[in-house]
Structure 1
Amino acid sequence: MPASKSIKLNTGAEMPTLGLGTWRSQPGAVEHAVEYALKNGYRNIDTATAYGNESEVGQGIKKSGVPREEIFLTTKLNNPDMGRPKEALEYSLKQLDTPYLDLWLMHWPAPMTKEGGADKSIDWLDTWHEMEKLYKAHPEKIKAIGVSNFSVEYLKRLLSNSEVVPAVNQIELHPSCPQQEVIDLCVSKGIAVTGYSPLGSEGAPLLKNPTVVKIAEKYGVKPGTILISLQANRPNVNVLPKSVTNERILANATIIDLEPADVVELNQIAKTEPFRACHPSWAGWGNLGFTESV
């Protein structure tokens, strides 16, 4: 389907299809990236407590001069804070210097200790229930809640034991990691999908993949535009390219409509070149329901 400018969440809110990701952005560069992106048309900014840059994101928003109500702002509950979501929420609001979040995500279904190990004393589902309570009690602070890095297995458990259906599931998405089963389940349940690492992460070979290069030449655009547009052409999916350089921030904002045959061809890449940039095998949590062959 053609690329959209926004997707509608199950809350009724509109979330811009294109957003600026800030994962792994170097300290000192995020503030400028957010300011520049907003001044050049972006209206969707994504961060997380774990990234350590919420304060810089907040400063960039202020410096941009774009009214807060025009911006869709997302942050995430950190894994070591899953036993204290209320305090974590207040911390994020303070760091971002904002009265509310448009979207608050559980970063991973993986409670951790402050030392970095798995915290088996906390059930992530209990944390989700606490997020539900905060969402219902404080609509002035949280406009929507959702999850991130949830596989089919984890989504099914959440949906069977919760009152609030997540507004969004944010997952890694690119031709080498299509996660179609996750997308299909989300679409069937009214959950929007946000794709991060659409270029396959730093150092990934997708920008030089012959199929990607060929299709980019067909449309007269750069390979990155094809990779970002692939996600934007999916129904109910938006996308978070990341950059801190002016030129690439502008380039990443170009989204084109892809022909169905191009989408089919791009989706074949995973069969021969599977790759995951953020594999969840850390901290003793195994693969969190993801298969090794993505």
Structure 2
Amino acid sequence: MDPLDQPTVGLPGDVRMPLLGFGTWQATGEAGYAAVLAALDAGYRHIDTATMYGNEAEVGRAIQDSGLRREDVFVTTKLPPERVGRERETIEASLRALGMDHVDLWLIHWPPSAPSDSIPMWRELLAARDENLARAVGVSNYGTAQIDELIQATEENPAVNQIRWGPSLYDRQRHAEHRNRGVVLEGYSPFKTTDLADPVLTRIAAAHDVSPAQVVLRWHIDHEIVVIPKSVTPERIRVNADIWHFSLTAGEMRDIDALAG
């Protein structure tokens, strides 16, 4: 599949976010640079980083060296919540490190330890978006009630909530709560919480002649949940991106959903 034809989900402001992304947590230094370059070469067009990952410079250099146009790569970074009051200098530092004039998505990495800081931080993200430093803004690791607080205070929904997700964590109600609020659910650590040797996954993988890991990624995509697998192994990076030649049946989706018990 042409990477530009990969499925996307719409965010406010006519922003399109690819459903498959590449996570870069713990991918630092030259190994991080090489992993991002390998991911872009394998067809990923969505790269996820964060201030706290300490790899924004490597991510930016890899995107530049890939030869791809900036507008063809969706870039997310995240604000550490202890930077309350320093949001603007943090996004400016991220952009300098990335070598970009904007990111596509900027997230609050997790709720601040002082709950009263959440709304002021959210207002600063909205201001950064309005100044075109980020095309869309959202949150990460937020509960539904915490999202509702932001919406009630500002009448602005986070575009995205990035949370730990996978078949064993599937929560139909939580998924619906995001959809009902117009918040895109983005899942991280899809394999960390998943038993890839589970008979349900191995059976479905065999039926499609793919790996259980590919089944897990396709399950996210078929639920229209953004997923960001991470690896620094070129072969695994390539295989994880090769999920467009099959899709899961309704029965297979139900069987995987049921792994959450």
1:282 corresponds to: none
Which residue type is aligned with residue 244 of structure 1? Answer: V
2:3 corresponds to: none
Residue 75 of structure 1: how far off its partner (Å): 0.3
Which one scores higher on RCO, CA 8 angstroms, separation ≥ 6?
Answer: 1
Distance 1:9 1:131 in 2: 15
Kindly provide the CA deviation profile for residues 155-191 of structure 1, in whole angstroms up to 9, marking residues without a partner as x. 1212211232211111111011124333211211222
Answer yes or no: is the 8 Å Cα contact 1:173–1:231 preserved in 2: no
Residue 133 of structure 1: how far off its partner (Å): 2.0
Matched, 1:248 2:236: yes
Unaligned runs of 5+ in 2: 1-5
- Which TM-score applies when normalising by structure 2? 0.92
Distance 1:224 1:121 in 2: 37
Divergent runs of 4+, >2 A: 24-28, 179-182
Aligned identity (percent) is 37
Matched, 1:234 2:223: yes
User: How do residues 123-138 of structure 1 correspond to structure 2 at under 5 angstroms?
Assistant: 123-136=117-130, 138=131
Please state whether the residue corresponding to 1:123 is helix, strand or coil. helix
2:180 corresponds to: 188
1:209 corresponds to: 198
Matched, 1:149 2:141: yes
Distance 1:10 1:121 in 2: 26
1:176 corresponds to: 168
Distance 2:188 2:40 in 1: 19
Distance 1:198 1:205 in 2: 7
Kindly provide the CA deviation profile for residues 202-246 of structure 1, in whole angstroms up to 9, marking residues without a partner as x. xx55111121111111111101001111100013x2111111111
Unaligned runs of 5+ in 1: 112-119, 272-294
Answer yes or no: is the 8 Å Cα contact 1:82–1:122 preserved in 2: no
Kindly provide the CA deviation profile for residues 13-69 of structure 1, in whole angstroms up to 9, marking residues without a partner as x. 111111111112254311011112112221100001111111111111111111111
Answer yes or no: is the 8 Å Cα contact 2:159–2:183 preserved in 1: yes
Distance 1:108 1:94 in 2: 23
Of Structure 1 and Structure 2, which has the larger fraction of its residues in helix? 2
Answer yes or no: is the 8 Å Cα contact 2:27–2:35 preserved in 1: no
